[in-house]
Structure 1
Amino acid sequence: MNEFEQGRNRSPRGPIGLMKRVYKYVLPEVRSCLDSWRKDAEGIPDPELRKQALASIETKQFHCEGGGIYAAGNLSMRHILIPLIVAYQTISDYLDNLCDRSTSLDPADFRLLHKSMLDAVTPGAEPVNYYALRTEQNDGGYLHRLVRKCQEMTSRLPGYGAATEEVYNLAVLYTDLQVYKHIHPELREAALKEWWEKEGYRAPHLQWNEFAAATGSTLGVFMLFLASCDPKLSTVASSSIRAAYFPHVCGLHIMLDYLIDQDEDRAGGDLNFCNYYENTDMMLNRIASIVEWARKDVRSLPENSMHRMIIEGLLALYLSDPKVSEQREVRSVSRRLMKNSPLTRLFFFVNSRWIRKHMY
């Protein structure tokens, strides 16, 4: 392997190198994959399923773009990583739309829908009728094709066998969250707290809303996809990688997402994990603590500079969102989180704004 190829297999060492890869490879290839799925979704026969599939791609494109950054950690495997990340995130976003704006409040329906995410990370699993418990049925095979794409790509990752159990466990937690957070509004909080009583031992220092938020992130799964590019990956290493991401990096990701969506969720009657603090100061202090725990966790990872950049990039991406300026309380929290920011975070902040302005 020559020096150029070795460089493509390594994570970028600094923010400029990372963004070069993002602009040159990640964004164009993610958008190409999404265009294909958009065309596929346009052919969904059921009007409600078609509406939600197209809306999820239209409004949540940046989820796939953010996830695609993990392909920058190994450019020589991006032909597998990018289609895999885009397909898996597209399933997540599509099902989130179906459940958020659901014609059903049946937890069994939500669990069956999300079985697709468990099957997607299990090569060889046979897809079923994931819509069997709801009125809308005919998606023309759209969800099955997404599941099959994930299975095809994971089966081509040379180290995936060692990561399968950790990926599956994260997908189970994600599924549980989606079931409990989408049931009847009067039942949600009690169901989530009861679930936390069973599962919270995984992170006893987190409050129930913070633990729930951590389970809602796909970043731990994407990191394990990246790690699976290594044919020498072991189950021990996979466990360590999962622990470096879950719960703190994952929790930071989703708490920031909920932070900027407070007005939107209030209007839609959706549950928001930032609304369970006594006051703004407590919310700020807890998010700041999660940032520090996340930074400490990723130090254990090999080539950890990329993962430190991802933490700074998460803060920059969410705190530069236009929604921040529209909410007085969120604007105040954002200013305080950005205070005394390292140069890396400021660099990503500027890039996030530039991408939004010039590439959408």
Structure 2
Amino acid sequence: MNDQELSRKVPRSPVGLMTRVYKFILPEVAAELDQWRRDAEQIPDEELRKQALASIETKQFHCQGGAVYAAASLPDKHILIPLIVAYQTISDYLDNLCDRSTSLDPVDFRQLHQSMLDAVTPGTKPADYYAYRSEKEDGGYLGRLVQTCRDCISQLSGYEAAKPYIRDLAELYIDLQVYKHIHPEKREAALLEWWSQQAHRTPHLRWNEFAAATGSTLGVFMLFLAATDPFLDEQDASSIHASYFPNVCSLHIMLDYLIDQDEDRLGGDLNFCNYYEDADTMLNRIASIVEWARKDVTAIPSTPFHRMIIEGLLALYLSDPKVSEQQLVRSVSKRLMKRSPMTRLFFFVNSRWIRKHKNE
């Protein structure tokens, strides 16, 4: 088998996957983020500049994790890595803007997040994303992120089949961002009302677990990868969507919230792990979501790759330094890691190594 054929094959082993991550994914993600950092430094408005730079500085592992999907198709990494990094950077920038916002206006939040729909819907006219807020002068930063996504998407030959499913996930993501950032006294009621309209889609999940599922970008990234296939059809795209949403996506964000509990308490931010009766219930529910996610990905090709994604999520979050600083989280983490398969332990060690050497 020649190098070209080998690079097209989806990695089936943790060693094969991490070899690609170290050799291709991490350096190219770093190069993309450097470019966006330089762009963000030129933003005229001080507050927008501050939040754009902070999102790149503190959330780069979101882009590193998301870009792992490019490791499944190395010949397309020149499309997938810039696309995933740009889309995730929009998400992280807007999350910072809304979390530390000078506004609590749902209309403002929805208008800002229209950029995430525009990014995945080439051909539409981009909106004025800052129309409802006082800080407006970003020097075209958000618009360039949107355009980068569109330029990359135009090179995905199977995109038409994936597009409705990507838009569905983007619309759910936007709803979540609007409801979770409004006035603290109104958040829970808005989220519960939204869930009452959507619960039929995920009857096995509690409202906080459904909301978590809508906050993940992994389903979108998997569909970007699938769209590199010119023969992708509607049935394939639907199957991929169903394999990732809700369980893989919910696991991703519940783990994110698990390690952020202290941080969110200090910042007055909503945290979906705070809605369980006790630590045992939280542990059991997250463990159940892990099993549902593992079962779901058996329905799509390259199951070993998707299983590695699930083990990698657990390893990435449970190896975070924040875990050791929180007694409850440390205890839940130990129990989730107990009797871990070797794959998870392998990714756990690698996640720690990547964090330790992130600025080298």
CA distance in 1, matches of 2:2, 2:161: 28
* Structure 1 residues 260-299: aligned runs within 5 Å: 260-299=259-298
Q: What is the deviation of 1:124?
A: 1.2
Residue aligning to 2:116: 117
Residue aligning to 1:353: 352
RMSD (Å), alpha carbons? 0.7
CA distance in 2, matches of 1:138, 1:10: 45
Query: In the alignment, does 2:156 pair up with 1:157?
Result: yes
Q: What is the deviation of 1:359?
A: 2.5
Residue aligning to 2:312: 313
Residue aligning to 1:249: 248
Deviations 1:305-340 (A, max 9, x none): 110000000000000000000000000000000000
Q: What is the deviation of 1:15?
A: 0.2
Residue aligning to 2:47: 48
Deviations 1:272-321 (A, max 9, x none): 00000000000000000000000000011111111000000000000000
Q: SS at 1:299's partner residue? A: helix
Q: What is the deviation of 1:90?
A: 0.2
CA distance in 1, matches of 2:48, 2:199: 34
Q: What is the deviation of 1:75?
A: 0.2
Residue aligning to 1:22: 21
Q: Which runs of 4+ in 1 moved over 4 A?
A: none
Residue aligning to 1:172: 171
Residue aligning to 1:129: 128
How many aligned residue pairs are there?
A: 359
Q: What is the deviation of 1:117?
A: 0.1
CA distance in 1, matches of 2:103, 2:142: 18
Q: What is the deviation of 1:4?
A: 2.1
The one-letter amino acid paired with 1:183 is: I
Q: What is the deviation of 1:3?
A: 3.2
Residue aligning to 1:334: 333
Q: Tell me, which stretches of 5 or more residues in structure 2 are unaligned?
A: none
Q: What is the deviation of 1:344?
A: 0.3
The one-letter amino acid paired with 2:167 is: Y
Deviations 1:63-95 (A, max 9, x none): 000001000010000000000000000000000
Residue aligning to 1:183: 182
TM-score normalised per structure 2: 0.99
TM-score normalised per structure 1: 0.99
Residue aligning to 1:196: 195
Q: What is the deviation of 1:230?
A: 0.4
CA distance in 2, matches of 1:102, 1:221: 26
Q: SS at 2:138's partner residue? A: coil
CA distance in 2, matches of 1:6, 1:234: 23
Query: In the alignment, does 2:229 pair up with 1:238?
Result: no
Residue aligning to 1:324: 323
Q: SS at 2:299's partner residue? A: coil
CA distance in 1, matches of 2:151, 2:78: 12
Deviations 1:194-246 (A, max 9, x none): 00000111101100000000000000000000000100000110000000000
CA distance in 2, matches of 1:93, 1:136: 17
